[in-house]
Amino acid sequence: MNYVLLMAGGVGNRVGAGIPKQFIEVLGEPVIAYTMRRFQECPLIDGMELVCVKGFEDQLAEIAQNAGITKVSKIVEGGHDYEHSIINGVKGFEGIAQPDDVIQIHWAAAPFVSQEIIEDNIRVCKEKGNAISSCKPFLLYGTNDGDHADGVIDRDTFMSITAPHSFLYKNIRKMYADCEEQGLFDKLEAHTTNFMSALNIPIYFSKGDQTNIKITTKEDIDLFTGFVLQEKMKKGEIKL
Encode the chain (240 residues) as per-residue pLDDT tens digits: 999 999 997 665 555 456 788 999 999 999 999 999 999 999 999 999 999 988 889 999 999 999 999 999 999 999 988 999 999 999 999 999 999 999 999 999 999 999 999 999 999 999 999 999 999 998 889 999 999 999 999 999 999 999 999 999 999 999 999 999 999 999 999 889 999 999 999 999 999 999 999 998 889 999 999 988 988 888 888 776
For the stretch 164-194, what's the b/e string if a residue is b when 16 or more beta carbons lie within 10 angstroms of its beta carbon? bbbbbbebbbebbeebeeeebeeeeebebee
Which stretches of the chain are assigned E, i.e. beta strand?
A: 2-8, 25-26, 29-30, 47-52, 72-77, 102-107, 130-135, 141-142, 152-153, 160-168, 205-206
CA trace torsion 88, 14, 23, 46 (10° rounding): -40
Residue 66: inside a domain: yes
Q: What is the extent of the structural domain holding 96?
A: 2-234
Residue 239: inside a domain: no
Helices (DSSP H) in 6-45: which residue ranges? 31-40
Nearest to 106 by CA among 85, 92, 135, 79: 85
pLDDT of residue 187: 93
Q: How far is CA 77 from each of CA 83, 85, 86, 118, 220, rounded to the nearest angstrom?
A: 13, 7, 10, 24, 26
Total domains in the fold of the chain: 1
How far apart CA 213 and CA 151 sit, in angstroms, is 27
Q: What is the CATH number of the domain that holds 206?
A: 3.90.550.10
CB 148 within 8 A of CB 227: no
Write the CB contacts of 157 (distance below 8 Å, at least 6 apart in sequence): none
- Three-class SS state of 37: helix
Bridge partners of residue 3, in order along the sequence? 47, 103
Residue 10: inside a domain: yes
Residue 240: inside a domain: no
| Local structure of residue 183 (DSSP, 8 states) | T
- Three-class SS state of 2: strand
pLDDT of residue 20: 83
